[in-house]
Amino acid sequence: MTTTRTRWTIAAAAGTAVAAVVGFVAATTRDDAPDTVTFAVFAAMTLPFAVALVAIGLDRTEHPEQAEESIESQWTTRASSGAFYDTIVAMGVTVFVASVLDWNALPLWIFVLLGLADMSARLVILQRREG
């Protein structure tokens, strides 16, 4: 099993490499800003998520409980399925409104934020109601 320090060191190195690759690809394909700016923005935005993903992937800590037998797992499942339903409905309504009002561009990132916020709110409510 890797130590915590080793795991985060590997995660930082691998995450930086991934962020650099994403930044490089963005800089070579996009032409809406100077390459250095595009590289810096995309690499910086990618870095924390890449580091976190690698760190999670390297975590081999043995957790005492079996996830599917925990109430926390059930809360997560219920919150995510509810948020998914809400997001689909919101997207459907927005597409309808956009077609009526002849909007050309739909900001999809809003639905990502909506879904995450919805799931977080549902988790908090479930924990307070049943916890």
CA distance 39 to 36: 5
DSSP H or E stretch at residue 79 = helix 71-101
Residues 37-96 that bind other proteins (CB under 8 A): 64-66, 68-72, 74
Q: Which of 45, 47, 41, 40 is nearest to 13 (CA)?
A: 47
User: What region, left, alpha or beta, does residue 59 occupy, with left being phi > 0 and alpha being psi -120 to 50 degrees?
Assistant: beta
CA 109 to chain centre: 11
Query: CB of residue 126 vs other proteins: minimum separation in angstroms?
Result: 9
Between 67 and 88, name the residue whose CB sits nearer to other proteins. 67
| Residue among 31 and 68 whose Cβ is closer to other proteins | 68
Q: Which CB sits closer to other proteins, 30 or 78?
A: 78
Q: Indicate the residue type of 56.
A: I
Nearer to other proteins, 42 or 75 (CB): 75
Question: C-beta of 3: minimal distance to other proteins in Å?
Answer: 24
What is the contact surface with other proteins in residues (CB under 8 A)? Answer: 64-66, 68-72, 74, 130-131
